[in-house]
Structure 1
Amino acid sequence: MTLQQEIVGNATQMAVVSLRPGQSVYGEAGTFLFKTPNVTVETRPAGPSGGGSGGQRSPGGGAGGLLRQAMGPSPQTGRRVPTGEPAAFQHFTAQDDEGTVGFTGVLPGELRALELDGTCAWFAGRSAFVAAESTVDLRIAVQGGRTGTKGDDGSVLGKLTGRGTAIIAGAGTFIDLDPADFGGRIDVATGCVVAFEESIRYEVRRVGGLNRPGLVNPVLGGEGLSLATLEGGGRVILQSLTLESLAGALRKARGGDDQGPAGGVFPTPTG
């Protein structure tokens, strides 16, 4: 049966999940809002492989063979977890009667429920995953990046497989695209990628850096951009706000940023 859930709110949405007796949903500790007293909490790996239900471990590959065997940080604890292994999450289970659990995203924005039918996996950004029912498996995956990357460039993702409902979050507003509508390829700032179907080929690269000696790259923005290339056909979900842009706006609002309108090349006049 499909997970009963309702997404409510406007600028900052939340998901209200109704659980049948014995039904479980798991999520990030930082996305949990509230629960009814008859819902128990237990920490264990994500999905059926960690739930003691006899589910099979999902294989680590996919997405056109772009996954790299590397180490990535767990989105739950920040500790490094081997690629293809499940991270630990809080599992919420209704006991004796129907229960309710509330979740939200880590930044103001939208939530969306993805319905997995077992035929197509989804990849989600590190901060996009909110919650999923126990029949959905979540594994740490490194895709389209350099072998051994720490994942700061957007290459560390979560791979969602199985059957059931998964809830994802995006900052600002969701933007739905299909690369096939743009000639088969789009380039996106890595911080804007929320989720995409496994039919999409995904690669991360740096572009536009300054190589001339003597230039102060951090001041001039000479480190370039980290871009995600998404190719093929399938659903892609982007977000209109990134953590970096929000942090920069908050710094300026607090008066802690002396950068001027030229992007930090010239200071803001004080007189």
Structure 2
Amino acid sequence: MTLDVQLVGTTTKMAIVSLRPGQVVYSEAGKFLFSSADVVMETKLSAPSAPAAQQAPGGGGGAGGLGGMLRGAMDAGKRMLAGESFAFTHFSTRGGDGLLALAGVLPGEMRLLELDGSSTWYAEKDAFVAAEAGVHFDVAFAGGRQGFSGGEGFVLEKFTGTGSLLIGGAGDFIDINPADYGGKLRVDTGCIVAWDQNIRYGIERVGRMNRQGAMTAMFGGEGFSLATVEGNGRVILQSVTIDGLAKALEKNAGAGDSKTGAGMGGIFSGSAD
């Protein structure tokens, strides 16, 4: 059964899921918005590996006993390395069709990706919103130089298996194939959301280590490195970087107080109501 998902909203997308009996969706903490009363929520260390009808009663994704607990604890430890939540929230319905709403943690878009068992997707940390049972969540190491220099960090999210996967990011999304532009694109490290297994991800230094290179890196706003994506595949980019959003919020923190608050600024600015 295909997961019934509608992406609604404009500047901030949310996913409206119609859960049928036997279907299981799992998400990270903080991604749940609302649900109908017949939707059951359970917190578990591991993701479900089979539809609810095929799971053992009370099992954590079909893996029971000590072995299942150890695997769940190991998976949770790897997720913590990626900066993700320690546990997953599982959603299912035991009655009729249930209503479930989920969203990312930042204002922006979402994408629904369908995995067919032969495809693999990689994503930046925090991109994962939810997936249905059958989609396996794992972590992948970007490599020393790439990991420490790139905006995606040392540990990436990795998704395999079969089923629907929801990812989210900041701002607007664009789907692009490097093969349409000579086979290679250079991208701000914070703009990459996800890419498929046909894409090679790397890090490239901005300019040479000379005066102009230092000027570009220090004052051009891009730092010393850019990400590269090569190959014939799908890349999802976002229009707002998390670093840029954080800097904008920090820069404007307290701006409202300065307009209407203490000191001489409060006398000569703002409303006199």
TM-score range, shorter chain: 0.7 to 0.9
- State the match for 1:172 in structure 2: 171
CA spacing shift, 1:196–1:47, aligned 2, 3 Å: farther
Q: Structure 1 length as normaliser, TM-score?
A: 0.74
Structure 1: runs of 5+ lacking an equivalent: 55-69, 78-86, 257-271
User: Would the aligned equivalents of 1:72 and 1:156 in 2 still touch at CA under 8 Å?
Assistant: no
SS in 1 for 2:91: strand
Q: Does 1:9 align with 2:5?
A: no
| Structure with larger Rg | 2
Q: Percent identical across equivalent pairs?
A: 52
> Using the alignment, how far apart are the partners of 1:255 and 1:210 within structure 2?
38
> Using the alignment, how far apart are the partners of 2:149 and 2:47 within structure 1?
22
CA spacing shift, 1:235–1:152, aligned 2, 3 Å: closer
Write the letter of the residue equivalent to 1:5. V
RMSD (Å) for aligned C-alpha atoms: 3.2
How far did residue 151 of structure 1 move? 7.7
User: Would the aligned equivalents of 1:185 and 1:230 in 2 still touch at CA under 8 Å?
Assistant: yes
What count of residue pairs does the alignment treat as equivalent? 230
Q: Structure 2 length as normaliser, TM-score?
A: 0.73
More helix by share: 2
Write the letter of the residue equivalent to 2:9. G
- State the match for 1:76 in structure 2: 84
CA spacing shift, 1:148–1:249, aligned 2, 3 Å: closer
- State the match for 1:66 in structure 2: none
For 1:142-161, what aligned pairs fall within 5 Å after superposition?
A: 142-146=141-145, 153-161=152-160
For 1:164-203, what aligned pairs fall within 5 Å after superposition?
A: 164-203=163-202
Write the letter of the residue equivalent to 2:24. S
Structure 2: runs of 5+ lacking an equivalent: 51-59, 65-77, 256-273
How far did residue 140 of structure 1 move? 1.0
- State the match for 1:21 in structure 2: 21
How far did residue 143 of structure 1 move? 2.2
CA spacing shift, 1:186–1:154, aligned 2, 3 Å: farther
Write the letter of the residue equivalent to 1:45. S
Deviates more, 1:173-182 or 1:39-48: 39-48
Write the letter of the residue equivalent to 2:203. V
SS in 1 for 2:84: coil
> Using the alignment, how far apart are the partners of 1:220 and 1:202 within structure 2?
25
How far did residue 245 of structure 1 move? 1.0
